[in-house]
Chain A
Amino acid sequence: MLSQVTMTVNGAQIVVPSGTTVAVAMAIAGQACRTSVSGEPRGPLCGIGICFECRVAINGRPHNLGCRILCEQGMDVRTNE
């Protein structure tokens, strides 16, 4: 098992320790997880998978809870529009 994971966040490559959640990776990269319906940037709020503010698009699919998903090698993560 790798001790580090290489992935892309909004097109930029980052490296995070294995076991990091996607929400944390977005925070490390300084990127908002999602854009709200009125256009505000949003990030994790509750940290436990209830608020849905940490939704991200992973490998082209939207509405993934970033706080509950571990980063995987080669993942392409983007701000959820």
Chain B
Amino acid sequence: MSKVGGRRFDILVVGGGPAGMAAAACAAEHGQRVGIIDDNAALGGQIWRGQSEPAASKWAERLRSSGVTVLCGRVFQQPEPCTLLAEGENILHELRYEKLILATGARERLLPFPGWTLPNVMGAGGLQAMVKSGFPIRGKRVVVAGTGPLLLAVAAYLQKHGAEIPIICEQASWSRLARFSMALLGHPGKIVQALQLKRELASARFSANSWPVAASGEGRVEKVTISQTGKIETFPCDYLACGFHLVPNVELPLLLGCQIQNGYVQVDDFQRTTVTDVFCAGEPTGIGGVESSLVEGEIAGLTAAGRIAEASSFFGRRGKLRRFARSRDRTFRLRPELHSLPAPETIVCRCEDVRYSHLREHKSWRAAKLQTRCGMGPCQGRICGPAAQFLFKWNPDSVRPPIFPVRVESMAGVSAPANLELTTGGRE
């Protein structure tokens, strides 16, 4: 039986990745009582998971010395204004705040194709996360596929840990990639990054205009068939790391009533959403990567702490990074050929095993949900939703609590205010 823990903050930050860490540190450094909550025990989000990146350590130190309270839990409901509920392992957090900064990050977009449900077919970031969590990849053969800069970063990481990478398949065309390389010229830091990656991946084959058409094997993936500009080639492998760029985690902003535009949270120059005293920073406002997330976090944290002039000093840098991010998005946009990836019997909703042919019969996400149960499983449509949106152009539903599956007792368990212990400081 869980206990209930009540906390009150001037500023609550949801999400412990780069944007959240920057926002929390900046706000706390200016005297605000700040709490940050993430569903991982360690901060850093996805991109700074595990290893000690210099930037990550710097921000972690700033967080520590500014006295930010770090909490571990999954936010799932807003029972009343200025309060959020989060479920921890043995605790229900009731978190009260004056201002809220949402830094909920992004997740990989996964597209269905024949064989994608076989064990050892994972997201690109997914396999990297597994290796960071202790999975031995040395000596294993991994095909990397999909789209986006994440592919190269993942391939380099896996190779560094002893994996054999026969091929990296990028669906974008060579001309798009060439145009993108030109865009790198405006960002010297990124050129260095790119050259470093090139050196690390010198032995790997990189193929544009390429995507997986099928994964096959007995009980797990054993080979992947790739289409490269129409030419078919098959690669034996132990793992397929396949992800199609990122989609923003906008469930919590939606739950709180923030306006969403083109799938991203609408914010003003100061990272304010359309809901009073609710800010949003990082990937949910537009997929931008680490530097962009940090800058947006700094702006949000400083603004929430009342330091408007300091916040606006970052606008120029943010503008430059946003332009770069937009050009990156254009480069890695999904091409229409990917609409024909799934076969009729390919499972699209993995929680409920709903096949493509079954979904195709319906005219809207809601109709498909009600009739097939697609999106009604524990992932709450986080995996199948973006796929269905790409395949059918369906708009997703509105969001209801709980925005993550939680124990029944967590939804039942809010005690009367008199019974809450209000505490500050420390770590849980």
A/B: CB atoms within 8 Å of each other = yes
Contacts of A49 in B (CB 8 A): 39
Of the residues B39, B120, B129, contact of A43 by C-beta under 8 Å: B120
Q: A67 interface residue, CB < 8 Å from B? A: yes
Q: B227 interface residue, CB < 8 Å from A? A: no
| Nearest-Cβ distance from residue B247 to partner chain A, whole angstroms | 11
Q: B79 interface residue, CB < 8 Å from A? A: no
Of the residues B46, B130, B136, B351, contact of A23 by C-beta under 8 Å: B130
A19 to B135, CA, bound (A): 11
Contacts of B107 in A (CB 8 A): 46, 48, 50
- Chain A contact-residue range equals 20 to 34
Q: B398 interface residue, CB < 8 Å from A? A: no
Q: Is the CB of B136 within 8 A of A28?
A: yes
Q: Is the CB of A51 within 8 A of B383?
A: yes
Query: Whose C-beta in chain A lies nearest to the C-beta of B405?
Result: A52
Q: Is the CB of A42 within 8 A of B117?
A: yes
Q: Is the CB of A67 within 8 A of B383?
A: no
Q: B133 interface residue, CB < 8 Å from A? A: yes
- Mark B219-236 against chain A: 1 for CB-CB distance below 8 A, else 0: 110000000000000000
Query: Whose C-beta in chain A lies nearest to the C-beta of B134?
Result: A20
Q: B378 interface residue, CB < 8 Å from A? A: yes
Q: Is the CB of B128 within 8 A of A47?
A: yes
Contacts of B122 in A (CB 8 A): 43-47
Q: Is the CB of A24 within 8 A of B117?
A: no
A20 to B130, CA, bound (A): 9
Count residues of B near A (Cβ-Cβ below 8 Å). Answer: 35
A52 to B383, CA, bound (A): 10
Q: Is the CB of A41 within 8 A of B129?
A: no
Q: B53 interface residue, CB < 8 Å from A? A: no
Q: Which of B73-114 contact A (CB under 8 A)?
A: 107-108, 110
Q: A8 interface residue, CB < 8 Å from B? A: no
Contacts of B383 in A (CB 8 A): 45-46, 50-51
Q: Which of A35-73 contact B (CB under 8 A)?
A: 36-38, 40-53, 55, 63, 67-68
Asked, given contacts A48-B46, A51-B382, A67-B130, whether A27 binds B135 with beta carbons under 8 Å apart, the answer is: yes
Q: Which of B374-398 contact A (CB under 8 A)?
A: 377-379, 382-383
| Nearest-Cβ distance from residue A19 to partner chain B, whole angstroms | 6
Contacts of B134 in A (CB 8 A): 16-17, 19-21, 24
Contacts of B350 in A (CB 8 A): 36, 42, 45, 51, 53
Query: Whose C-beta in chain B lies nearest to the C-beta of A63?
Result: B378
Q: Is the CB of B130 within 8 A of A44?
A: yes
Q: Is the CB of B377 within 8 A of A47?
A: no
Q: B127 interface residue, CB < 8 Å from A? A: yes
Q: Is the CB of B119 within 8 A of A43?
A: yes
- Mark B338-368 against chain A: 1 for CB-CB distance below 8 A, else 0: 0000000001001111000000000000000
Of the residues B117, B135, B220, contact of A36 by C-beta under 8 Å: B117
Q: Is the CB of B125 within 8 A of A48?
A: yes
A42 to B120, CA, bound (A): 9
Q: Is the CB of A48 within 8 A of B135?
A: no
Q: A9 interface residue, CB < 8 Å from B? A: no
Q: Is the CB of A47 within 8 A of B126?
A: yes
A51 to B107, CA, bound (A): 10
Q: A7 interface residue, CB < 8 Å from B? A: no
Q: A77 interface residue, CB < 8 Å from B? A: no
| Nearest-Cβ distance from residue B381 to partner chain A, whole angstroms | 11
Q: Is the CB of B110 within 8 A of A46?
A: yes
Of the residues B126, B135, B352, contact of A28 by C-beta under 8 Å: B135
A63 to B408, CA, bound (A): 13
Residue of B108, B110, B119, B350 with most partner-chain A CB within 10 A = B119
A23 to B412, CA, bound (A): 29
Contacts of A20 in B (CB 8 A): 133-134
Q: Is the CB of B130 within 8 A of A41?
A: no
Contacts of A28 in B (CB 8 A): 135-136
Contacts of B123 in A (CB 8 A): 45-47
Contacts of B219 in A (CB 8 A): 32, 41
| Nearest-Cβ distance from residue B159 to partner chain A, whole angstroms | 18
Closest 7 CB pairs of A and B: A47-B129, A47-B126, A43-B119, A52-B378, A20-B134, A38-B353, A21-B133
12 residue pairs bridging A and B, Cβ less than 8 Å apart = A17-B134, A37-B352, A37-B353, A41-B219, A43-B122, A45-B110, A45-B350, A47-B126, A50-B379, A50-B383, A52-B377, A52-B379
Interface residues of B (CB under 8 A from A): 39-40, 46, 107-108, 110, 117, 119-123, 125-130, 133-136, 219-220, 347, 350-353, 377-379, 382-383, 405
